[in-house]
Amino acid sequence: MLQSDVRDVVYLTWLVDVAAVAALVPPGVTLQQKHGKTPFTVLTYAHRHFGPAAMSKLRRLFPSPLQSNWRLYVETLPGHQAAERVVLFVKNLMDSALYALSTRLGSDALPTHLPLRFRHEHSGSHYATEITAGTGSAPELRYLAQLSAAEHLPPGFDSYFASWTEAVTYLCLQDAAIAPVHELQRLAYAEIALPIDMASVRPLALVADSLHSDFVQALTGAAEPLCFVVPSVHFKVLSEHLL
């Protein structure tokens, strides 16, 4: 079991056409959707001492990498098995060569890209992320967000969620993640614990024209994302197996 004290967890979520992300979905998996739309989230955060839970206090000797995972929300698994609070990892990035290599060698559910540059910073009321691929395979991302007083659902979200609170709760609370293992033509399934205090969640708003990502914008166009931040949460990877 792995664990980390995660901080500055920034969620950017768009409603995208199901057809636009169909190529990202493994055979047998279906996505949560309404009116032909499904949520797509870019989630970026900073670990604090990410390592084995068994190390107890010695876990503070482990590094604190940055991570960004890009996800879709699953309705059913292969065999029409209902998926309760499960996400599909589309992309996973970390700023540490050690952790990126470790996930490629030791984890089916978290094969990881290593960008040339990865910055995720919190300063006052602002949160900024910059991911530059270099010659690697990582998708690029840049944005600046600021704390907002408004619990605001962007256009279109009100047809998917009844309220800002319902949307944030749905997007935050997951029990598992899946990822395709292409060599084996199977899915990896990782159980996680993410006990987010919903009262701590703060709304964010993107600074105008600050978002730049070819990958994201190809899926979302100029749509406005739902943005918020979770200041901190104690995160655990409980188990992993192949479906």
The per-residue DSSP string of 128-183 comes to EEEEE-TTSSPPPEEEEEEE-S---PPTTGGGT-SSHHHHHHHHH--SEEEEEETT
3-state secondary structure of 201: coil
Q: What band does 188 get if pLDDT is binned at 50, 70 and 90?
A: confident
Interatomic CA distance for residues 89 and 74, integer angstroms: 10
Backbone angles phi, psi at 190, to 5 degrees: -115, 125
The burial of 27, by beta-carbon neighbours within 10 Å (0-12 exposed, 13-18 middle, 19 or more buried), is given as exposed
Q: Are 174 and 190 in contact (CB under 8 A)?
A: no
Residue 202 pLDDT greater than 90, yes or no: yes
What does the pLDDT average to over 194-216?
Answer: 94
Residue 42 pLDDT greater than 90, yes or no: yes
Between 48 and 179, residue with greater pLDDT? 179
Q: What is the largest CA-CA distance in the chain?
A: 49
Residue 101 pLDDT greater than 60, yes or no: no
Residue 194 pLDDT greater than 70, yes or no: yes
Lowest mean pLDDT among 1-15, 179-193, 206-220: 179-193
Residue 176 pLDDT greater than 60, yes or no: yes
Q: Are 85 and 175 in contact (CB under 8 A)?
A: yes
Q: What band does 98 get if pLDDT is binned at 50, 70 and 90?
A: very low
The count of domains in the chain is 1
Where in the sequence is the domain holding 123, given as residue range(s)?
Answer: 2-242
Interatomic CA distance for residues 108 and 218, integer angstroms: 27
Nearest CA to 7 among 230, 237, 236, 238? 230
Q: What is the pLDDT of residue 106?
A: 46
Residues 212-243 pLDDT 10s: 999 999 999 889 999 999 999 887 777 878 88
CATH no. for residue 81?
Answer: 2.40.400.10
What does the pLDDT average to over 196-201?
Answer: 94
Q: Which residues contact 95 (CB under 8 A, 6 or more apart)?
A: 65, 66, 67, 114, 115, 118
Q: What band does 95 get if pLDDT is binned at 50, 70 and 90?
A: confident
Residues 111-129 pLDDT 10s: 677 788 999 999 999 999 9
Determine which helix (DSSP H) or strand (DSSP E) holds 219, and give its type and residue range. helix 214-220
What does the pLDDT average to over 157-174?
Answer: 94
What does the pLDDT average to over 198-219?
Answer: 95
Q: Are 88 and 243 in contact (CB under 8 A)?
A: no
Mean pLDDT of the chain: 85
Between 96 and 111, residue with greater pLDDT? 111
Q: What is the pLDDT of residue 108?
A: 46
For the chain, give the percent of residues with pLDDT over 70.
84
Between 233 and 137, residue with greater pLDDT? 233
Lowest mean pLDDT among 83-87, 93-97, 134-138, 204-208: 93-97
